[in-house]
Amino acid sequence: MKREFIFLGPPACGKGTQTSKLAQHFGFPHIDTGSLLRAEIKNETENGKIAKSFIDKGQLVPVELVGGIIKNRLSQDDCKNGYILDGYPRSVEQAQMLEKINSEIDNGQSTSFRAIYFELNPDILISRIVNRRSCPNCGEIYNLKSKPPKIEGKCDKCATELTQRKDDNEETAKARFETYFNETAPLIDYYKNKGNLKTINAQGTIDEVWERLLEVVR
């Protein structure tokens, strides 16, 4: 049976870390839609050029275009047994588009679809964002409190100087949460009503959250 997973949760809830672990666990591709879109732009594909034209104007990339990029990725051979999709869908409209994409790709194949929601107190989320640091070279993510680098300010993997995103501050974090809950949170009810939603408590260590995640994906 093909297994399809999407992950829901506000910024800094830890889903990126856990999706990577789960991808290794199952041997499925972890598809980060933000990285996927940036790669299309960097490689100057036709979709990438169109997406860039909207981004350069400060406009949102059209739903149909994002859907086309997602469909192309999910159609590749490494997704034939399953995938883990992170960062998409972000709205009920996109969720409906994903259902259409899956239906066309799966073509009657037996599948299991689950939406995993990472639930966490907003105050903890803000603390995570303010203390978040990342490696501009390899993309590794750190947290000064819960996952500090072994050498202060240096990436454990490649020794590159860690950076902090300009928008990783309390004021911006609160605004991002408000946007998330207004725009994306309706997906929780959408998938709950379809019987596809599994919720986990995302507070605790990476290992503790991992064990909870394994319980809901078995």
**What pLDDT sits at residue 12?**
77
**What pLDDT sits at residue 152?**
94
Does 68 reside within a domain? yes
132 closest CA partner among 102, 179, 165? 165
Report residue 179 as tokens: 């946007």
Q: Read off the CATH number of the domain in which 195 is found.
A: 3.40.50.300
Does 164 reside within a domain? no
Section 109-132 average pLDDT: 87
* Spatial separation of the C-alpha atoms in residues 127 and 145, rounded to whole Å: 9
Q: What is the pLDDT of residues 143-167, one digit of tens each?
A: 898 889 999 999 999 999 999 887 7
**What pLDDT sits at residue 191?**
96
**Percentage of the chain lying above the pLDDT 70 cut:** 100
* Spatial separation of the C-alpha atoms in residues 189 and 184, rounded to whole Å: 10
* Spatial separation of the C-alpha atoms in residues 199 and 208, rounded to whole Å: 15
Section 128-141 average pLDDT: 87
* Spatial separation of the C-alpha atoms in residues 181 and 186, rounded to whole Å: 8
pLDDT of 214 above 90: yes
**What pLDDT sits at residue 101?**
94
Does 175 reside within a domain? no
Domain tally for the chain?
1
What DSSP designation does 92 have? H
**What pLDDT sits at residue 104?**
92
Does 196 reside within a domain? yes
The residue to which tokens 């990342």 are assigned: 134
Report residue 7 as tokens: 């992950």
Helices and strands counted in the chain (H then E) = 9, 7
Does 146 reside within a domain? no
Does 160 reside within a domain? no
Q: What is the pTM of this model?
A: 0.77
139 closest CA partner among 167, 158, 118, 126? 158
Section 130-153 average pLDDT: 89
Does 38 reside within a domain? yes
Report residue 107 as tokens: 């073509």
Does 107 reside within a domain? yes
Tell me the pLDDT band of 35, cut-offs 50, 70 and 90.
confident
- Residues spanned by the domain of 197: 2-121+185-217
Active-site annotation, residues: 15, 90, 132, 165, 176
**What pLDDT sits at residue 193?**
95
The identity of residue 98, as a single letter, is L
